[in-house]
Amino acid sequence: MENQKKVSAISDVGAWGMNIVSSVGIIMANKQLMSNGGYGFSFATTLTGFHFAVTALVGLVSNATGYSASKHVPFWELLWFSLVANTSITAMNLSLMLNSVGFYQISKLSMIPVVCVMEWILHSKHYSREVKMSVMVVVVGVGVCTVTDVKVNLKGFVCACIAVLSTSLQQISIGSLQKKYSIGSFELLSKTAPIQAVSLLVFGPFADYYLSGKLITNYKMSSGVILFILLSCSLAVFCNVSQYLCIGRFSAVSFQVLGHMKTVCVLTLGWLLFDSELTVKNIMGMVIAVAGMIIYSWAVELDKHTNIKTHSHAKHSLTEEEIRLLQEGLEKNPLKDVELAEDKS
């Protein structure tokens, strides 16, 4: 039993590690690929379509070689999930274009309370006071790190709201679909990736033209661009797989909270690799955020132990309803002594 717990813990750490490394790696690769100082490939939605196309190809090869088993999931559920996921991607890009960086970061931070409320509405999930407090600490810490100027406009606000709601719903749906159909994370991803790839590659160029005013057909490809696109797609496969793994193992709230570790890593690597400014405010925010993540981990473990004790106590004690039914049964059917056959009541 202890060995199983150790293996499970190692797997959990591995999933989080893969997600953080691949997510930070893809941000660094995309920064070089898309920035004006890099290759100026400003077609984010189409690039995401490439990501899912490669992911779908990996899933197809995996199923063909027997590495993974394909389980049945109704097509309409896959289509609905892909629609929500693609809405999330497009709305996030629009939100980043229409809003200031400060408001964009605030909208991303609001995903944690939105996920909490959605899980409470959809799954009647409740959170302890310790978990709520730790979430607030993380939000404050990341906010101090990242939020600068905050300017709001109507179009940007609407896009941000759609982005937050669709992203939160997508992350909750991943865990729900895995539990509902007893399907592994990679198997679910291999079913949704082709639908997302086709839709993003068809509609992505139009969305990118609206965002940047440029057509991908007019962009001049080079060997360096192709190399970084392949690197970005490779990292995207690990990022997508690890995201499904993490949400399948934990919860959407845990994924959001500990996922902000990526923000800390991105800020640090940006300072080390791209000469980005790292102020005292950034460092202070990082310290608060990391402290909040540690408190959150402790609060989740505390909840687990409390639930185990509650269930254990419930198994060894009668409820008031059970006692009442037992008393009614005794009144209607008085106990008889087996040997003397006399009423004891």
Reported as a single tens digit per residue, the pLDDT across 122-159 is 777 777 777 777 777 777 776 676 666 566 678 888 88
Rounded CA-CA distance 184/4 in Å is 19
- For residues 107-119, average pLDDT: 78
Question: What's the CA angle centered on 206, arms 204 and 211, to 5 degrees?
Answer: 90
Range from 240-244, 270-274, 337-341 that averages highest in pLDDT: 240-244
pLDDT at 336: 47
- For residues 215-227, average pLDDT: 90
pTM of the predicted protein model: 0.68
Report long-range pairs for 69-74 (Cβ below 8 Å, ≥24 apart): 69/187, 70/187, 70/190, 70/191, 71/181, 71/182, 71/183, 71/187, 72/181, 73/177, 73/181, 73/183, 73/188, 73/191
pLDDT of 326 higher than 60: no
pLDDT at 130: 72
Domain extents in the chain: 8-324
pLDDT at 339: 42
Percent of the chain with pLDDT strictly greater than 70: 66
pLDDT at 338: 41
- For residues 323-341, average pLDDT: 49
pLDDT of 229 higher than 90: yes
Reported as a single tens digit per residue, the pLDDT across 21-43 is 887 788 778 888 887 778 888 89
| Local confidence band at 101 (pLDDT 50, 70, 90 cut-offs) | low
Polymer length in residues for the chain? 345
Beta strands in 32-88 (DSSP E): none
Reported as a single tens digit per residue, the pLDDT across 160-205 is 889 889 988 988 888 888 888 888 778 888 889 999 999 999 999 9
Higher pLDDT among residues 7 and 131, named by residue: 131
pLDDT of 111 higher than 90: no
pLDDT at 343: 45
Which of 50, 82, 49, 99 is closest to 211 using CA atoms? 99
pLDDT of 327 higher than 80: no
pLDDT of 227 higher than 90: yes
CA dihedral 59, 63, 68, 74 (to 10 degrees): 80
pLDDT of 340 higher than 50: no
Query: Given the structure tokens 């086709």, which residue do they identify?
Result: 198
Residue 328 exposed, middle or buried by CB count within 10 Å (0-12, 13-18, 19+): exposed
Rounded CA-CA distance 176/247 in Å is 10
